[in-house]
A and B are shown apart, each in its own frame.
Chain A
Amino acid sequence: MEAHEIVKLVGQNDNAAFHQLFEAYYKRTYAVAYNILRRKESAEDITQDAFIKAFQNLHQLKDAAKFGAWLAVIASNLARNYLKREKKVILTDEQPEQAVDQESAGTEDSALHNMEMNRIRRAIRELPADYYQVIVLQYYHDLKVEEIADMLQIKSGTVKSRLFRARQRLAEILELSAASGCLKDEGGGTGNERKETI
């Protein structure tokens, strides 16, 4: 959805607009919640709560064009709080990894690329929730450090340090997985547990 359409719908602030925004953002909001919780039912509940909270507090959104990122923040915060509340490692119902770039799967290069992708995706799943949150906001929603700080209501320095540590952690996980020969297939590493850092 184009930025001007999002701005228009956010400004419209009625049921029809909410429905269109829901249709546009349901999948990725669910994905953010699911990637933190790794449980379908909890992720579904959190996603619904996130939309309700967002629609009821739409007046608090500073930049309507950033609705998607704002919703992701709400969903990831709710998911993180859910994890804290549960105070336990959640048993996950991991989805099978979907094939990457099916069209070019035949070539050797693309096979290597797919393996690399799978490794990174597994590493992302092992990130703590607050690291995952900033990584998603910066790399997926393309937000600046200051914008992330504003949305999460934390200092820019904290965002920077979380981003640095997240990247460091990813590098460590990727190094470990390479060292233990996990490069070869999808079976290595559980990657199933998301913990809340303290």
Chain B
Amino acid sequence: MSEKKQFKLTDDLLIEALKLEIENVECPPAAPAWRKINTTLQKKAKKRASLSIPWQRYALAAAACVIIIITSFAYMNDSWLRQISDDQVHLFEAADTPMMLEVDNDQEQFYGRGADMSQSAIDQLYNFASPDPAPPDWPPVLAGEFVLTDMLLLAEGSALFSAALYHGVEASFLIIIPLGEEIELTLFVQTLSSFLAIPLSSTTEENGLLHFDLNGNPGLAWKKGTDMQALLVIAGFIEDEIVRQITRDIGNSVDGKQQ
């Protein structure tokens, strides 16, 4: 107890001694010291300013060039996409493809609450998938804004699924087909959920179409004869009108039960 008291006292004395050491030092006058500091600071500021002007000019010029290039590219790209999109819309209007899916209000909600658009969701996908070196000729060209960007193999030892990755402005999704033996539609979705390590939140079967939800990512699976396909939104929102369009496109290659 007495040792503790002694120790505390020493601390107090130490603080007092330090205060004396620091605050009682005989100090040279402050004014000349400040003049020197101020002069040095101003010189350095001028030097920096003179150095920064050419740098800023170059930076401005470079920024202007980048903006012009990006704007031109975006304009060209947009015109090209619009042209393709217009062509396809025209094509589908001409073709008498069966209406595969009747989207009701529930489905509108379903597709409206897709996961947030994020690059991480897409990056995560590549943890399970690798580019398909010899992609099959099945993925359809979709109308509207969606562009096929990658063909993937989802493999665990042997290849389990083949997938086509589509990107649009507001959403990204996969169209997936199983590569193994014929299985039930529900098992197909369960295997997919297990493979992607995303829990299967819900499934609803309606008119031969299996609506499912992989932890907030809405999806739709269906069967044509022995062939199966699934559409899984991995990021963003897909409006019901666009789903109609996509299913019309895919309707060329699969049968859905029409209402």
Taking Cβ atoms with an 8 Å cutoff, the residues of A that contact B are 15, 18-19, 22-23, 26-28, 30-32, 34-35, 40, 44, 47-48, 51-52, 55-56, 95, 98, 100, 116-117, 120-121, 124-125, 135-136, 139-140, 170
Interface of B is mostly: helix
Q: A47-B33, A121-B17 are in contact. Are A31 and B25 (CB under 8 A)?
A: yes
**0/1 per residue, B161-205, Cβ < 8 Å to A?**
000000000000000000000000000000000000000000000
Contacts of B19 in A (CB 8 A): 140
Cross-chain contact of B20 among A48, A117, A135 (Cβ < 8 A)? A117
CA distance A47 to B33 in the complex (A): 9
Whether A139 pairs with B11 at a CB distance below 8 angstroms is yes
Q: A48-B36, A120-B17, A140-B22 are in contact. Are A22 and B30 (CB under 8 A)?
A: yes
Whether A139 pairs with B14 at a CB distance below 8 angstroms is yes
CA distance A124 to B21 in the complex (A): 9
Contacts of B17 in A (CB 8 A): 117, 120-121, 124
CA distance A32 to B23 in the complex (A): 10
CA distance A98 to B25 in the complex (A): 9
Contacts of A170 in B (CB 8 A): 14
CA distance A26 to B24 in the complex (A): 13
Q: Is B61 an interface residue (CB 8 A)?
A: no
- Chain A residue, CB-CB nearest to B16: A117
Cross-chain contact of A44 among B28, B40, B44 (Cβ < 8 A)? B28
CA distance A152 to B115 in the complex (A): 45
CA distance A56 to B17 in the complex (A): 32
Q: A52-B41, A140-B18 are in contact. Are A30 and B13 (CB under 8 A)?
A: no
Q: Which 9 A-B pairs have the closest CB atoms?
A: A120-B17, A31-B25, A31-B22, A140-B18, A98-B24, A26-B30, A27-B27, A139-B15, A121-B17
- Chain B residue, CB-CB nearest to A142: B15
Q: Is B26 an interface residue (CB 8 A)?
A: yes
Would you give 26 A-B contacts (Cβ < 8 Å), ordered by A? A15-B41, A18-B38, A19-B34, A22-B33, A22-B37, A23-B30, A26-B34, A27-B23, A28-B22, A28-B23, A35-B25, A48-B36, A52-B37, A52-B41, A56-B41, A95-B25, A95-B26, A100-B20, A116-B13, A117-B16, A117-B20, A120-B17, A136-B18, A136-B22, A139-B18, A170-B14
